[in-house]
Amino acid sequence: MGRDGWVGGWRGGGMTNSALDPLAETTAIQQTVSDPRRSAWLSANAGSGKTHVLIGRVIRLLTDLADGGREIDPSSILCLTFTNAAAAEMKNRLFDILGEWSLLSDEALSDALTTRFGRSPAAPSLMRTRRLFARALDTPGGLRVQTIHAFCESLLRQFPLEAGVMPGFSVLDDAEYAALIHRCRWQALRALQAEGFAGDHLTVQEKFSQESAVMKALAGIEASDLMPTEDLIEQLGEGGDSDVDDIKRHCLQTLDREFVRQFSRIAPDIAKGAKERTFRAREALSAWEADDPSAFDHLCSAFLKADGQRPADKTMAGNKDIRGILPSVAAEWAELATALEAARHRITACAIIRTHAATERLLRRTTDFCRAEKARRGLLDYDDLVASAASLLTRTDHAWLQFKLSHGLHHLLVDETQDTGPSQWSVLNPLRQALLAHNGEVPKTVFFVGDRKQSIYAFQGADADLFERERAETETLASRDHFVSRQLFLSFRSSQAILDVVDESFTPEEARRGLSDDAPIRHVAAKPDLPGKVELWPLERRDETLTEDPWSAPVDAVRPEHPTRKLAKRLAADIKKRVGRDDCILKNGDKRPLAYRDILLLCQTRGPIFHEVLRALSEAAIPTAGADRLPLMEDIAVRDLLSALRFAVNHEDDLSLAELLKSPLVGIDDDLLFALAHGRDQGVTLWSRVREAAGSDDRLAAAVAMIEEAEGTGHASGPFALLSSYLDGGQPSGWLRFHRRLGLGVDLALEELLTDAIAFEQAEPRSLVGFVHYLERSLSDGRIIKRDSEDTEDVVRVMTVHGAKGREAHTVYLIDANKPSELKADFIKGDGGKLICPPSGVSHPLLDLAKEKAKAREREEYRRRLYVGMTRAEQRLVITGTAGTSKDDPEAVAEAKPPAEASWYGLVAQAMTRLGERVERQSSPGEAPLRVLSVASSRDRRVQPDKARQSAASAIPNWLFRAADREVEERTLAPSHAVDQDQGRSISTIGPLAMVEGQGARRRGILLHGLFERLPPLAPAQRRPLGARYLACHGGDIPAEERARWLEEVLGILENEAFAEVFSPAAKTEMAIAGRLGNRRISGQIDRLVLREEEVVFVDFKTHRPPPRRVEDVESATLSQMALYHMLLRQRFPGRRVTGALLWTYTAQLMPLPEAVLLSALEKAL
């Protein structure tokens, strides 16, 4: 505790150390811990307003210290939060308050400050407070409210060389890091195989069963986290190279074979319960006599328990008849069991060491490859940010850096301290130590706020025990007169009924362990008259009276009588019944009808009940936000589109086509699909049958048209175009079809898939095959998409307790409350590092001890997750779950377990029982009774309409569900595009041989045009040498004599006075021009354009050999080209006469084109 003790004597029924009412006492605590001249540690119950306190302290840091005459630089305050969302929320709320204050009158601002801080400010302070908003906005980089990772990144960008990182480094996001680790893991496996450790992969895979499980298990751990193999060998007392068969043989040599022989001869009617053991003993003797090491395994089966442990003394003593035959059976069995158990421990130790060593080598090599790749590309992951920043802050050879930081940082505030892990504390400790060691005139402070009861992120490195240890360390470092430690107990969120059940659930010391070891947990509602209700529903059980033909039932489908299915349907029905009928009390005390957004369903994991609930809500037409976390490639809509992509690249892939036909995009039933697929001749594809049947089935005809259109678009424009065609096309659109079957929650996954398609096309060729391979690689990467629904969306939210941290809702359902605590860790903490968690049935004293400690820590966090889940509820909390097929009453079984082992359901049931007369049993016809604790409201409340729902339900225009008119792609027509430049023929009419023969003429035309473009601006003396150099550079393979003739041809025209105006500096060269002809866009380039005051002359060069002598002999395509130029120039220069001419270079002839000829050519072209 703090040196001046915990304040917070109010404990739910009265006051002990304080004469204040709960609200007044809470206000006093808030003002104490927000004092900017003192450091503070605040433990805040759920819903007690810690963000309000954090903001209040920041404001007081900026205002109170300014009263002393000092202007506080906002950039000297650093506030660290756990998530980006929390940082954004805090910053927004702070700016909202400061922005509002900047516009208040002196009197209103004084009242606002008095209400928040309990004192009336002076006039100069009002002026400074009013300027705070502008100062905060003008602070370079903005107010420093950020996550610890963002702080570490900014620190490293300031001092990259000192930190030993590459300047301008990039930070890997989760998906990029997962992909990098996956690649490096395979590189490490190949490298180990080349080094002679080919068996490592099989050893590791044997532990984790599947390849995907190996990658998943090793993704969150590094070699430095593991206990070194040498230390493990020393602790186990066994060499890693010991041979298992040698251990077995050595054990067999020390055993008494005679006892085993006598035991095996016991008759079955005498052995009774040990009959199986005598049979195993006979098998052991047979193998023993053949010197077969398997005799050891048979002996273990005969004389040890299934888990390899010694049997109970009662078992080894045998029955009376056995003792009559073998009087010393107990002693001899015990001696034999002890020897077998010791040998099994040695064998287990060998297996552990081999797996541990293989895992360590794999992790070490993976780390080496990963570091090399990150160094090569200038990348850092989140762990690198923290480790590099911690190293930078603790280095003693950069005293100047510590000095600079200490002058720039005066106040440190840390939110969600209970979720701060050891690695993050390695960054905070140097900052804390420097600030608390300061003795200057300007105060420097630290402020930590959190709640040990809400520490539920152990899988991310958080340690709940650190909360108290670091509080004590902060108290030790701080000055006695400048540190306070307080606790907030008043809840501004939940009703007293909910808080009473929360408190009672953790009243037993065993239930409270890991949450609050020293004192009972107590909460007080800030609004005592807020109505509340806690409902404990009966557990759903399987109805064993129902039967179903297993031949007709899908093997992986959840049957209607399954408990998860029954519970999901009951939850959907309850929600449907209450939305629009129940009252939701607002923050201002008014009420409105309950909406879908007021409902939150929480579970421990995303297991079967999680997905069944989403399915039941969708079937009941209840809008949901979908799963809060979902592997991208596990989303059913994404898998449907992946099938469409697979079929697009291989029309013989019948399975992918069948999946596409069954998807919401087409939606045919099983009967039709069977009729299409069954009875085909060999080599006949499903696609051919579908196209054949489309002639008589409108639905299949529409499907074929949709698929062909999407594939045509995809092959022409890439995977994004194909996906867009499926989603945007059709009536209704693909989006709407997915919504109707899968709900609105599919949008996030589909949008992520479209984003992937865009990213793929930016990095790779637009190949459908390549994109399919890219997505299939994503299957093994296990990339997770995170769906953070806004509270303003009128949807039911279904998520895990971890995802619900920081959220609240009117009604909260804990839907898998009877799921027990379960240790699922792949690694457990040992003395000196992490160990591989052994599977059930594998026993060793060292591992058993570490595993029991891990289970105890997991049970503590299990109960903390219950606390977090219960305290999300404002006015209604429902606890429910499912049970197995036991004949015993499942509710009684759950409630009978000791608190340390009880499930969520059991803990709440025990609490309801202890609350006794306050709990009533309610039941509906046909349903089992439920236990309810409720508190009614004594106030009459004004009803407010739900504006959000009214807005959402406003009239929706019909065009939203109507297929959009098909847009015709607009193509730009180039006047010269359809004309062969030299031969005067449409390219589309030239055969292959003619095109080959015409390549020389085409090249001649291109080179001559280049000379006409480049030579006119040059001095006459420079034209010949530079022209020759140009031709030699671009036509070096053309004979020199031919090049010389071409150059003379061009120079002859340039030196001809008749063409002087055409090639004068005033003439425009290669003039681009564009316009429209009806609904066609036309764009071209004119060789020469002469602008006169009343006339525009355009000239186009033609290099034909020989050229026509008369206008009547000019190719129609050439005339059409000139006619289009004529039309565009008339549009561009209205009021001027437009004249066109062809310059035939071969004969140096300028051929004017009469306007009548051009108009006639234009009419023919149209």
How far is residue 984's CA from residue 974's CA, in Å, rounded to a whole number? 15
122 carries a ligand binding annotation: no
* 8 A C-beta contact, residue 822 and residue 623: no
How far is residue 998's CA from residue 748's CA, in Å, rounded to a whole number? 55
How far is residue 46's CA from residue 868's CA, in Å, rounded to a whole number? 8
Residues contacting 589, CB < 8 A, separation 6+: 939, 941, 942
User: What does DSSP assign to residue 893?
Assistant: H
β partners of residue 1141:
1099, 1152
User: Read out DSSP for 71-129?
Assistant: PPPGGGEEEEESSHHHHHHHHHHHHHHHHHHHTS-HHHHHHHHHHHHSSPPPHHHHHHH
569 carries a ligand binding annotation: no
45 carries a ligand binding annotation: yes
SS3 at position 346: helix
User: What does DSSP assign to residue 312?
Assistant: P
β partners of residue 1142:
1100, 1151
SS3 at position 1144: strand
How far is residue 153's CA from residue 156's CA, in Å, rounded to a whole number? 5
Residues contacting 323, CB < 8 A, separation 6+: 317, 329, 330
SS3 at position 31: helix
How far is residue 219's CA from residue 221's CA, in Å, rounded to a whole number? 6
* 8 A C-beta contact, residue 818 and residue 905: yes
How far is residue 800's CA from residue 949's CA, in Å, rounded to a whole number? 26
- For the chain, the helix, strand and coil percentages under 3-state DSSP, each to the nearest 5: 55, 15, 35
Q: Count CB atoms within 10 A of the CB of residue 851.
A: 21
51 carries a ligand binding annotation: yes
50 carries a ligand binding annotation: yes
Q: Write down the residue that tokens 């430049």 correspond to.
A: 981
Structure tokens at 460: 């991310």
How far is residue 686's CA from residue 697's CA, in Å, rounded to a whole number? 15
Half-sphere exposure (CA, 13 Å, Cβ side) for 4? 18
How far is residue 799's CA from residue 787's CA, in Å, rounded to a whole number? 10
SS3 at position 349: helix
SS3 at position 191: helix
Alpha helices in 210-319 (DSSP H): 211-218, 229-236, 244-254, 257-264, 268-271, 275-289, 294-303, 313-317
List of long-range contacts for 125-131, beta carbons under 8 Å, 24+ apart:
125/63, 125/66, 125/67, 128/63, 128/66, 128/71, 129/63, 129/101, 130/101, 130/102, 130/104, 131/102
* 8 A C-beta contact, residue 465 and residue 864: no
Cβ-based burial of 989 (10 A; exposed 0-12, middle 13-18, buried ≥19)? exposed
Q: Count CB atoms within 10 A of the CB of residue 940.
A: 6
840 carries a ligand binding annotation: no
Half-sphere exposure (CA, 13 Å, Cβ side) for 773? 7
Q: Which amino acid is at 1036?
A: G
967 to 942, 970, 972, 1037: CA distances (angstroms): 53, 9, 15, 48
- Binding residues, as ranges, are 44-51
Task: Cite the annotated binding site for ATP by residue number.
Answer: 44-51
